[in-house]
């Protein structure tokens, strides 16, 4: 009847994948349990509601993400160095486990308020890099917020392209080109 084996990991992985594949609302607790190989109740030992599961999954992965970002930042100096390193890091993460990447993209809107100006917030991070580059005269004056949005678009959309089969895997192979596009963009005001 009872089968006390540690299933927390399996539950969370199943949830992560299903949320990405079918959306959060499109995934039932029953489906998560079923894919994890447990009964529905098992889920509630680890998370007190479906919503709680979503949040836990988000913050857990978000923090790993943030840690990676911090590491990259600490190891590189100046936009020309840092941006390519970040692009490669993002793309590497996507290639390694696109579910994690996509899940963060998927639910960030709903949870964004709680993370708004957190320096682990990737958008915020890019924004800081841009502002710092402007301040240090590494790039011409420009609307930092708009540039940030454009840079984010350059990084995220190839991942979306891979997902929908338009862009070839692995994503890292496109890192050099995307990095160049990013750097060119930053210099756009020059001419």
Verify binding: residue 40, DNA, rule CB under 7 A: yes
Burial class (CB in 10 A: 0-12, 13-18, 19+), 26: exposed
Which has the closest alpha carbon to 53: 107, 121, 115? 107
> d(Cα 170, Cα 159) in Å, to the nearest integer?
10
77 binds, among its own copies, DNA, none (CB under 5 to 8 A by kind): none
Q: Nearer Cβ to DNA, position 39 or 187?
A: 39
Pick the stretch among 17-25, 52-60, 66-74, 81-89 that binds its own copies (CB under 8 A). 17-25
Verify binding: residue 13, DNA, rule CB under 7 A: no
Q: What's phi and psi for 126, nearest 5 deg?
A: -60, -45
> d(Cα 25, Cα 48) in Å, to the nearest integer?
17
Contact 15, 44 (CB under 8 A): no
**Start-to-end Cα distance in the chain:** 73
Interface map 96-135 toward its own copies (x if CB under 8 A)? -------------x--x----------x---x--------
Pick the stretch among 56-64, 66-74, 75-83, 138-146 that binds its own copies (CB under 8 A). 138-146
Which has the closest alpha carbon to 137: 96, 174, 84, 190? 190
Verify binding: residue 22, DNA, rule CB under 7 A: no
> d(Cα 44, Cα 31) in Å, to the nearest integer?
14
Verify binding: residue 164, its own copies, rule CB under 8 A: yes
Which parts of this chain interact with DNA (CB under 7 A)? 1-8, 11, 27-30, 33, 37-46, 48-51
| Chain positions contacting its own copies, by CB under 8 A | 23-26, 109, 112, 123, 127, 143, 145-146, 148-150, 152-158, 160-161, 164, 166-168, 174, 177-178, 180-181, 184-185, 188
């Amino acid at each position: 009847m009872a089968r006390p084996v540690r299933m927390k990991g399996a539950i969370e992985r199943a949830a992560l994948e299903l949320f990405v594949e079918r959306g959060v609302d499109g995934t039932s607790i029953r489906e998560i349990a079923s894919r994890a190989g447990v009964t529905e109740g098992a889920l509630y030992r680890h998370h007190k509601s479906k919503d709680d599961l979503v949040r836990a999954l988000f913050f857990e992965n978000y923090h790993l993400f943030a840690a990676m970002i911090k590491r990259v930042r600490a190891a590189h100096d100046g936009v020309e160095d840092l941006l390519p390193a970040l692009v490669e890091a993002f793309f590497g993460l996507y290639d390694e486990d696109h579910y994690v990447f996509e899940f963060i993209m998927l639910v960030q809107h709903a949870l964004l308020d709680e993370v708004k100006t957190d320096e682990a917030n990737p958008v915020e991070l890019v924004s800081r890099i841009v502002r710092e580059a402007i301040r240090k005269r590494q790039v011409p004056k420009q609307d930092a917020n708009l540039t940030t949005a454009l840079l984010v678009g350059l990084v995220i959309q190839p991942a979306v392209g891979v997902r929908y089969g338009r862009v070839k895997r692995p994503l890292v192979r496109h890192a050099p080109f995307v990095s160049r596009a990013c750097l060119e963009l930053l210099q756009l005001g020059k001419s």
